[in-house]
A and B are shown apart, each in its own frame.
Chain A
Amino acid sequence: MAEIVSLDEAVEELVRDGDAVALEGFTHLIPHAAGHEVIRQQRRELTLVRMTPDIVYDQLIGMGCARKLVFSWGGNPGVGSLHRLRDAVEHGWPEPLKLEEHSHAGMAAGYAAGAAKLPFGVVRGYEGNDLATRTRVAWIRCPFTGERLAAVPAIRPDVGIIHAQQADQAGNVLLWGIPGVQKEVVLASRRSIVTVEEIVPELEPRPSSVFLPSWTVTTVAVAPRGAHPSYAHGYYERDNGFYVRWDEISRDRERFRDWMARHVFDRETSAV
């Protein structure tokens, strides 16, 4: 059964130096508050896993939490580059960053395999590109037809972290809107943290929602506006203006550190 704890307790308890940690949320419900807590607790040497590393991964990388990044698309959607990610890859600042990159379909298949506790997922798209030579894929033959296919290893993070709209007192979790790979990452991970907008007396069933029973989740922590500047469907909209401003904030190392000090480390002013 999921334990309901504070966010700092959840991270303290479950995220360890050197872990493979996946914070997921495909544009929607990105667990920013949890990412900030990982930064505040100064976790190091993490293998960060995420299909679409965007602002929160730029922050984790820029603050020196990561040793390796497993990803399929790393950018500021609709805006441009992630300057902290680029600085780490291009100049090794603040530390060199190893990359393991896939296509979206490859990572999605890896998560699905991880959730199913199968060793690998199967895709066709790696044929004929340079990506296949730079990532962890292996070529296999279909045992029935002989077709050549790419096997991508299952993704089994040590810790999976997602944000959802609601949980109840028993730790059951409900999320709705764009579901991304949130269900897969929780089921694939050894331990999980789910931050939620609020704890409600009773979860109301909704069509097309994702329900994660309490017994699939390790801890639940309340983090109102915990996905901002991404969004929580039905609670608040995506702060597109912040994504645009991040381009400026993150461009310069000093300005970035100053922003992090004021908005992430100093809790008095951290309501961004």
Chain B
Amino acid sequence: MTQVEQPTYTADEMMAVAAARRLRNGTVCFVGIGLPSQAANLARTTHAPECVLVYESGTIGAKPEHLPLSIGDGELAESADAVVSVPEIFGYWLQGGWIDVGFLGAAQIDRRGNLNSTVIGDYDSPRVRLPGAGGAPEIAAMCRETFVMLRHEPRAFVEELDFLTTPGKGVTCVVTDLGVLEPADAGELTLTELHPGVTVDQALEATGWDLRVIEDPRRGKPPTRDELAALRALKPANGDTVAR
């Protein structure tokens, strides 16, 4: 018997696949740009075709063929069921409680799932000025649950945030390039799943706080051939960049 060859993939691809798998079919999802948009579109083009993608540009039910570079690319408007104004999308739709899952990235996260996307260093004389809150505070407050995607490294997984942009109360999972964290006792983010080939020690080393780990964390499955093909088919529009 010949052995089935395992397709090769990157850590970012594993992360997108792991996040996409957590979106159930039919979920109404408020999507940020970059990794969240990649994962949500992957879910939509694989196991969750009825997933509804809502972007903050006011596009409801967007079905882009290519990964948009921005939250307002023309393809989102053209493929959407409806296009509404920014006050309407944040007022009637998000604040109105119609969204199931908010999908966010950030620069820093703490053990409570609180997020920083504002500054690194002191607010008045920051070392790095980040883009700021955008839709994140309301997305996290108003969606039934919040998924976070973040590359796992000590400077991102910190004991103390430099700035609290978005409270982590609604965060139900954090998907990283090493595994998955979920809130356990008293809401503390705990490692519950590892991607293939990743060790608990790697996750501990990449976390800036004393990371709790459940007994015998689940072992995630590698991306299937179909998942990888679908993910790679979602090339960014204009084909000249990789969305980050």
Complex-state Cα separation, A111 to B90, whole angstroms:
12
Chain A positions 222-248 with a Cβ under 8 Å from a chain B Cβ: 231, 233, 237-238, 240-241, 243-244
A86 located at the interface, meaning its Cβ lies under 8 Å from any Cβ of chain B in the complex: yes
Q: Flag whether A112 is at the interface (Cβ < 8 A).
A: yes
Across the A-B interface, the 6 shortest Cβ-Cβ residue pairs: A27-B72, A75-B131, A73-B134, A125-B138, A77-B70, A78-B69
For B167, give its contact among A109, A128, A238 (CB under 8 Å): A128
- Please tell me which stretch of A11-19, A174-182, A189-197 contacts chain B, meaning at least 4 of its Cβ atoms lie within 8 angstroms of it: A174-182
Q: Which residues of A contact B68 (CB under 8 A)?
A: 78
Instruction: Give the shortest distance, in Å, between A231 (CB) and chain B (any CB).
Output: 6
A72 at the interface (CB under 8 A from B): yes
Given A27-B73, A74-B131, A111-B87, are A241 and B238 neighbors across the interface (CB < 8 Å)?
A: yes
Extra contacts besides A90-B125, A104-B135 (20): CB < 8 Å: A27-B57, A27-B73, A28-B57, A28-B72, A28-B74, A72-B132, A75-B131, A78-B70, A82-B131, A86-B129, A101-B132, A105-B95, A124-B141, A129-B166, A131-B137, A181-B87, A238-B237, A240-B69, A240-B237, A241-B240
Contact: B85 with A104, CB < 8 Å? no
Known contacts A112-B87, A233-B77; A178/B72 CB under 8 A: yes
- C-alpha spacing A131/B73, complex, angstroms: 28
Expressed in whole angstroms, the minimum distance between the Cβ of B174 and any Cβ of chain A is 18
Asked if A43 is at the interface of the complex by the 8 Å CB criterion, the answer is: no
Interface residues of B in 213-244 (CB under 8 A from A): 236-238, 240-241, 243-244
Contact partners of B134 in chain A: CB under 8 A = 52, 72-73, 103-104
Roughly how many angstroms separate A90 CA and B123 CA in the complex, as a whole number?
10
Residues of B within 8 A of A75 (CB): 130-132
A111 to B56, CA, bound (A): 16
Contact-residue bracket for chain B: 35 or more
A-chain residues with CB within 8 Å of residue B72 when the two chains form the complex: 26-28, 77, 178, 180
Residues of chain A lying within 8 A (CB to CB) of residue B138: 103-105, 123-125
Out of B58, B129, B166, which one reaches A179, CB within 8 Å?
B58
Q: Whole-angstrom distance between the alpha carbons of A89 and B240 in the complex?
A: 30
Complex formed: what's the CA distance from A237 to B78 in Å?
12
B142 at the interface (CB under 8 A from A): yes
Contact B90 A74 (CB under 8 A): no
What are 6 inter-chain pairs, A to B, with CB distance below 8 A?
A52-B134, A78-B33, A131-B118, A178-B76, A240-B69, A240-B241
Give 1 or 0 for each of A110-127: 1 = CB within 8 Å of chain B CB: 011000000000011111
Q: Are A131 and B85 in contact (CB under 8 A)?
A: no
How far is the CB of A17 from the nearest CB of chain B, in Å? 26
Contact indicator A243/B69 (Cβ below 8 Å): yes
Interface SS majority for chain B: loop
The DSSP consensus for interface residues of chain A is loop
With A27-B70, A90-B129, A231-B74 already in contact, the answer to whether A184 and B87 are too (CB < 8 A) is yes
CB of B71 within 8 A of CB of A28, answer: no
Looking at the complex, which one of B135, B142, B236 makes contact with A124 (CB distance below 8 Å)? B142
For A238, what are the chain B residues with a Cβ–Cβ distance below 8 Å? 69-70, 73-74, 237
Contacts of A131 in B (CB 8 A): 118, 133, 137, 165
A186 part of interface (Cβ distance < 8 Å): no
Q: A49 within 8 Å of B by Cβ?
A: no
* Cα–Cα, bound, A81→B59 (Å): 24
By a CB distance below 8 angstroms, the chain B residues around A78 are 33-34, 68-70, 236, 241, 243-244
Q: Which residues of B contact A129 (CB under 8 A)?
A: 133, 137, 164-167
